[in-house]
A and B are shown apart, each in its own frame.
Chain A
Amino acid sequence: MIKRFKFIYIFLPLIFFSGTSNSLEPNIFIQSTVNRASQILGDDISKGEKIEKLKIIATDTVDIKGIGFYTLGKFRKELSDAEKIEYTKLFREYFLKSFSSRLAEYTNPKIDVQSQEKLNDKYTIVSSILIATDIRPEVKIQWRVYTKDPDKPLIRDLIIEGLSLARTQKEEFSSIIQSNDGDIQSLFASLKKFINN
């Protein structure tokens, strides 16, 4: 009898909630994501292995496609369907390489999520700090989380001390395209070069 009661006690909540959505609070989503990344960076494994594991986290938690189209700015409207497919593929490879190699330089970073601000149904800004070390001051990091699907929040931007990485990327891409007379293929060539380096 007691055993049956225990069984009901443990599984009742699961049964009860199984039919409802499990929306994930953006601040909890970010803290769990940075904890996962931090654990990998602190592991005693090779840099290559770290990069591969970080790529898995990025694929799972970052809206790579969304960031890719944002960074194209006004040029995204000029792409043909074939170019969109090619760009999405190239940007994904570029992003994962760039993101993971940037992050792999850090050893066991400690990030504390502090607050969140809901901008609208689509976006919440999560504020956190990268704890200072002997060689690095404290750094404020804010995360733009895309919450259109509350069950599957996704990171769209990192704002470090008020400077947006997505915006920086967008302006870098724009510079490459504009200095080649607006030819989008020049960006594709630069992305390919970066990926193959």
Chain B
Amino acid sequence: MRYLLRIFIIYIFTINFAFAGADGENSFSKKTGEVKDCFENVNRATFAFNQGLDNILFEPLAKGYRKLPNPIKIGTGNVLSNISNLITIPNNILQGEFKTAGINTARLTVNTTVGIFGIFDVASQMGFVKNYKKEDYGQTLGTWGIGEGCYLVLPVLGPSTIRDLSGGFVNILGGDPWYNLTIKNDTQHFKESDYYFSKGGDGLNFRAKNIDSFENLEKNSMDFYASVKSLYLQDRRKKILNSNSITESQDDSDWDEIQSN
């Protein structure tokens, strides 16, 4: 009961905050305007801190990780992807995607058992799962029509918004079965460090895949902070719409007035 109350209070608090930041724009659509950078000075300072941390720690680690043999990298990626199903499935249900929830549950079951804790992506090889897409509580809030609220840069974790941070709170309040198994409940099967290793591994995997893109972007940006912010917000918008169609994820009217060469 106490947990439910805590969820409710934080939910109300964060949603109000999100609405306040969204300037009355609650519905999420391709017409959604600019996301406010309410804490820009703090965000820029945190971004600089994160960049420093990245230079010292994450980038060298990611470069080392990238040198590992391919089967190890693929296996690690598969295990992390399999664990992510534990958050994706409840979010599929909350978004009304019951068929996808069923498919992802089958994927989780097959890969955890036949695929040996997810090391082998047997489900994809069997061909019944195509284009697995991770979902989280921030995305679910987005599909429910809640605006991003203010843009945030979190220490270590990086770009976020008030809405996505609210979604993150749901994980630690019982919404993430992997967190419940490793940290919240003493199941004797897992340790707290398993959770932190998986989250760290996720970050490392992402960083390793994007080393060249980040270097390239940083080198060619006049305002790297603004570029990362734009890419993060575009990516979230695309994920919430669950669409690969540009006409749905981009506002085409921007181009209408532009004359030719």
B-contact 0/1 string along A150-179, CB 8 Å cutoff? 000010100100111001101110111001
Let me know if A65 and B238 touch, CB within 8 A. no
B259 within 8 A of A: yes
The bracket for how many chain B residues form the interface is 20 to 34
CA distance A146 to B257 in the complex (A): 13
Within 8 A of B (CB), among A7-55: none
Q: Is the CB of A164 within 8 A of B250?
A: yes
Q: Once the chains bind, are B252 and A146 in contact (CB under 8 Å)?
A: no
Q: Say how far A97's CB is from chain B's closest CB, in angstroms.
A: 9
Stretch of B171-179, B182-190, B192-200, B217-225 on the interface side: B217-225
List residues of B (209-237) whose CB comes within 8 Å of A's CBs. 209, 212, 216, 219-223, 225-227, 229-231, 234-235
Does residue A182 face the partner (Cβ distance < 8 Å to B)?
no
The answer to whether B220 and A66 have CB atoms under 8 Å apart is no
A142 close to B227 (CB less than 8 A): no
- Asked if B230 contacts A172 (CB within 8 A), the reply is yes
Q: Inside 8 A of B223's CB, which chain A residues have their CB? A: 172, 175-176, 190
In the complex, the answer to whether B222 meets A194 with C-beta atoms within 8 Å is yes
Q: How many interface contacts (CB-CB < 8 Å) are there between A and B? A: 92
Query: With the chains together, A171 CA to B221 CA distance in Å?
Result: 11
Across-interface contacts of B216 in A (CB, < 8 A): 102, 105
Determine whether the beta carbon of B250 is less than 8 Å from that of A167.
Answer: yes
Count of A residues near B, CB < 8 Å? 44
Write the nearest CB–CB distance from B135 to chain A, whole angstroms. 16
Knowing A70-B254, A172-B222, A175-B223 are in contact, say whether A125-B246 is a contact too (CB < 8 A).
yes
A81 to B261, CA, bound (A): 16
Q: How far is the CA of A175 from the CA of B222 in the complex (A)?
A: 10
Give the chain A neighbours of B254 by CB distance below 8 A.
70, 73, 167, 170
Q: Which of B222, B225, B230, B261 is within 8 Å of A191, CB to CB?
A: B222
Residue B258 interfacial (CB < 8 Å): yes
Q: Across the interface, name the chain A residue whose C-beta is closest to B220.
A: A98
Q: Confirm or deny: B247 has a beta carbon within 8 angstroms of a beta carbon on chain A.
A: yes
Q: Which 10 A-B pairs have the closest CB atoms?
A: A175-B226, A171-B230, A162-B238, A172-B226, A168-B230, A190-B222, A98-B220, A163-B234, A66-B258, A65-B261
Q: Which of B66, B221, B234, B258 has the most CB of A within 10 A?
A: B258
Q: Is the interface of B mostly helix, strand, loop or mixed?
A: helix
| Residue B249 lies at the interface, judged by CB distance under 8 Å to chain A | yes
Please, which residues of chain B bring their CB within 8 A of the CB of A102?
Answer: 216, 220
Structural contact, A119 and B252, CB atoms closer than 8 A: yes
Give chain A nearest CB distance to B247 CB in angstroms: 6
Tell me the residues in window 40-97 of chain B with beta carbons closer than 8 Å to chain A beta carbons. 40, 66, 70
| Nearest-Cβ distance from residue A47 to partner chain B, whole angstroms | 14
Tell me the complex Cα distance, A73–B230, Å.
14
Known A102-B220, A134-B70, A159-B246; contact A70-B229, beta-carbon cutoff 8 A:
no
Out of A65, A66, A162, name the residue touching B234 (CB < 8 Å).
A162
Q: A174 — which chain B residues lie within 8 A by C-beta?
A: 226
**A123 contacts the other chain (Cβ, under 8 Å)?**
yes
